[in-house]
C-alpha cells in the first residue's frame, strides 16, 4: 500500500506552535507517512510584526518553511492544523488559508480525510479547547474524519488535553510532554488513515 500522505499546516507567531508542528511531523514520519510541513502566509502588517522582536525573529527563522497551498491539502490523507489561540479562536492567518478552500470543498475533495488540530495559549485556561473545537467546525463542514488524541497514550494523562496537543506558552517553550503529545496525536491520525486506506483499497 502507498504510504499515508500527511500535511501539517500551521501558523505560529513566536515559535511555540512551530515546535509542536515539527514534533507532529516527526510522529507522522515515525508512523510511516510521507510528510509535508507547511506554514500559512503571514498576513499581519510588517509594522505589527516588527514591533514584537520575537515575532519578527520567528518569521525570519522560518523563511525556509514552504507556504501551504491548496495542493498540499488535496494531496494529503491526513491534515493536521496547528494554531495559537486568539481570544479562544484560531489565528486569522490560518483562517485566511482555510477560507481559500471553497473550490476543493465544493468538489468534495476535502471529504474523507483524517483531520486533527493542536494549539497553544499563553495561559492554562486561555482557550485551547475552544480553539481546537472551533477548527472542528470546519472539519465537520468538509466531511472529515476527526481523530482526536483522547486519552489513548500515557502522555495524554500528563498533557491533559484529549482534544488536541497543546502547550501553555507562558510557562516556556514546549518540553517533552507537549512535544510527545504532538507526536502521539500525529501517529494516531496516521494509523487511523492507514486503516481507512487499507479498507478503501481492499
Ligand X SMILES: Cc1cc2nc3c(=O)[nH]c(=O)nc-3n(C[C@H](O)[C@H](O)[C@H](O)COP(=O)(O)O)c2cc1C
Q: What is the contact surface with ligand X in residues (CB under 6 A)?
A: 12-18, 84-88, 120-123, 126-127, 169
- Residue closest to 93 by CA, chosen among 68, 114, 113: 68
- The length of the chain in residues reads 202
- Nearest-approach distance from CB 121 to ligand X, in angstroms: 3
Helix 176-201 vs helix 16-30: angle between axes, to the nearest 10 degrees? Answer: 40
Residue among 16 and 138 whose Cβ is closer to ligand X: 16
- Residue closest to 163 by CA, chosen among 107, 113, 99, 117: 117
- Residue closest to 147 by CA, chosen among 40, 3, 4: 4
- Residue nearest to ligand X as judged by C-beta position: 126
**CA 12 to CA 121: how far, in whole Å?**
11
Residue among 13 and 33 whose Cβ is closer to ligand X: 13
- Nearest-approach distance from CB 28 to ligand X, in angstroms: 19
Dihedral sign of CA atoms 44, 45, 49, 51 in order: negative
Residue among 18 and 184 whose Cβ is closer to ligand X: 18
- Nearest-approach distance from CB 83 to ligand X, in angstroms: 8
Instruction: Identify whether the C-beta of residue 30 lies closer than 8 Å to the C-beta of residue 183.
Output: yes
Residue among 100 and 122 whose Cβ is closer to ligand X: 122
- Nearest-approach distance from CB 134 to ligand X, in angstroms: 12
Residue among 186 and 193 whose Cβ is closer to ligand X: 186
- Nearest-approach distance from CB 126 to ligand X, in angstroms: 2
Amino acid at each position: 500500500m502507498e504510504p499515508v500522505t500527511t500535511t501539517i499546516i500551521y501558523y505560529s507567531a513566536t515559535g511555540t506552535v512551530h515546535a509542536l508542528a515539527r514534533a507532529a511531523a516527526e510522529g507522522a514520519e515515525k508512523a510511516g507517512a510521507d510528510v509535508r510541513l507547511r506554514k500559512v502566509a503571514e498576513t499581519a502588517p510588517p509594522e505589527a510584526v516588527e514591533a514584537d522582536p520575537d515575532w519578527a525573529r520567528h518569521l525570519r527563522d522560518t523563511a525556509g518553511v514552504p507556504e501551504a497551498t491548496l495542493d498540499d491539502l488535496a494531496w494529503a490523507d491526513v491534515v493536521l492544523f496547528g494554531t495559537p489561540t486568539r481570544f479562544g479562536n484560531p489565528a486569522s492567518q490560518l483562517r485566511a488559508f482555510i477560507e481559500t478552500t471553497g473550490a476543493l470543498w465544493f468538489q468534495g475533495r476535502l471529504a474523507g480525510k483524517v483531520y486533527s488540530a493542536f494549539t497553544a495559549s499563553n495561559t492554562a485556561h486561555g482557550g485551547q479547547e475552544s480553539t481546537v473545537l472551533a477548527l472542528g467546525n470546519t472539519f465537520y463542514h468538509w466531511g472529515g474524519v476527526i481523530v482526536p488524541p483522547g486519552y489513548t497514550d500515557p502522555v495524554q494523562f500528563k498533557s491533559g488535553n484529549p482534544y488536541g496537543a497543546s502547550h501553555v506558552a507562558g510557562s516556556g517553550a514546549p518540553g517533552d510532554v507537549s512535544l510527545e503529545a504532538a507526536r502521539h496525536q500525529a501517529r494516531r491520525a496516521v494509523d487511523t488513515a492507514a486503516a481507512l486506506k487499507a479498507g478503501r483499497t481492499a
